Structure 1
Amino acid sequence: MKIPQRDITLRFLAEPQDVNFGGKVHGGAVMKWIDLAAYACAAGWSGRYCVTAYAGGIRFIAPIHVGSLVEVEAKVIYTGNSSIHIALEVNACDPKSLDRKLTTHCIVIMVAVGPDGKSEKVPQWIPETPDDQRQHDTAIKLMEMRKKIGKEMQIFVD
């Protein structure tokens, strides 16, 4: 049996079309890269087509400059029946120095779906190290927090 791929790193150079009016990489471009890495990670874990169900806790820490080497690291931190919770970090640096700096981090939840668009079961991820267990436990705490936030957000959608 093939072992699912738990993590993935996308690497590329930030291009001029990614720039905002302030001369730095646009936050929307970073969010697109995050979504792409989350998809690749979730598909590698589940062996299925996956869709984004949630993206949250995004924190933009430092700007990314055009020409920077960008690394988007994604790893599974929790699985439900059909959901895959993924922690993501974006690091960037001048490709000549390779002195990477954290620029962005967040959590994305992907859901595996079949050809009919209905959710499908995914392989369970089981923490193996103390660090894995901390991330797994944090993912569970974040789920509870999202439920509370979802209830509070109802005022904006009713």
Structure 2
Amino acid sequence: MEGHTVAYSQSTIIELMVPSYANFGGKVHGGTLMSLMDKVAYVCASKHAGNYCVTVSVDNVEFLQPVEVGEVIKLMGSVNYVGRKSLVVGIKVVAEDLQAGVSKHTNTCYFTMVAKSPDGKTAEVPALILKTQDDVRRYLSALQRKRLRTQDNEFMDKYRQNFVYDLASAELLQDQRCHVTLEPEE
């Protein structure tokens, strides 16, 4: 069977959160965490693909709890899904307060990466060998997120092209916290 197991490319990055990572509220800046998540996604995807990989989208970014300066974070990445030329890498971030001995799950997200050959063209990626129940669950979850994104894109395409506020769009906004007061077009 050609391909790589999920375990083959699983990767972990551990980093101390230093004061220069703090935002104006004194917590670790979300952008810093995103940059670190992108690094672990790159490592996982490139190892699986055997090629350079680039980030094309990030889905379901969840900041569950703040990360404090002085905590050590562990970013765990795993290839959850592969297409022909793309991969989805799931990232879980856990922060640990070393003095208190307390760990907390702080972030989860999914990076879609595309493999590039040395000449810069997209490259085919090896199949993903699923060996555990978790591997299968994560693959199916990624497949569902892909289906929902396709449906969402189709829905939004309908509204992007020649949008006209009509009865259908008014119904979608009916229970929302907005007021439509369109100005006459010139």
Runs of 4+ deviating beyond 3 Å? 152-158
Gaps of 5+ in 2: 163-186
Where does residue 119 of structure 1 map in the other structure? 122
Please list, as runs of the form range in 1=range in 2, the aligned pairs for 1:5-154 lying within 5 A after superposition: 5-154=8-157
The 3-state SS of whatever aligns with 2:102 is coil
> 2:57 is matched by which residue type in structure 1?
Y
Shift in alpha-carbon separation, 1:94–1:51, aligned structure 2, 3 A = same
Question: Identity of counterpart residues, as a percentage?
Answer: 34
The 3-state SS of whatever aligns with 1:62 is coil
Cα distance in 1 for partners of 2:114, 2:161 equals 23
Cα distance in 1 for partners of 2:107, 2:70 equals 17
Q: Could you give the per-residue CA deviations for residues 92-128 of structure 1, whole angstroms, max 9, x where no partner exists?
A: 0112344221001011111110133211011110211
Q: Which has the larger radius of gyration?
A: 2
Note the C-alpha offset of 1:156: 5.9
For normalisation by structure 1, the TM-score amounts to 0.91
For normalisation by structure 2, the TM-score amounts to 0.78
Shift in alpha-carbon separation, 1:112–1:157, aligned structure 2, 3 A = farther
> 2:107 is matched by which residue type in structure 1?
T
Cα distance in 2 for partners of 1:153, 1:11 equals 39
The 3-state SS of whatever aligns with 1:100 is strand
Gaps of 5+ in 1: none
**Between 148-157 and 52-61, the greater mean CA deviation after superposition:** 148-157
Where does residue 166 of structure 2 map in the other structure? none
Cα distance in 2 for partners of 1:19, 1:134 equals 35
Cα distance in 1 for partners of 2:29, 2:113 equals 23
